[in-house]
Amino acid sequence: MAKKSAHEIRIGRIKAVIWENETSAGTRHNVQIQRIYRPEGSEEWQTSDSFGRDDLLIVAKVADQAHSWIYEQRQPS
């Protein structure tokens, strides 16, 4: 059974998937940033970890939001 991500942030075609990993030192987070696309003539969506010039500012915004979400998880309730 596949592990479920802890959180996902998406702006347009760019998404960040945040994973939680329990360690002896506590919860650690990893972030996977991907571009979503559908090849011409295909009905299947695919992902890539390659970004074009016009994607880069969105990648930065998604990374910033992922950082903020992870930071908020570490704050005491």
Short-list 55, 64, 62, CA closest to 16: 62
User: Tell me, what's the pLDDT at 68?
Assistant: 97
For residue 31, what pLDDT band results from cuts at 50, 70 and 90?
A: very high
Q: Is 43's pLDDT higher than 70?
A: yes
* Global confidence as pTM: 0.86
Domain ranges of the chain: 7-73
Q: Chain-wide mean pLDDT for the chain? A: 94
Dihedral over Cα of 20, 75, 16, 59: its sign: negative
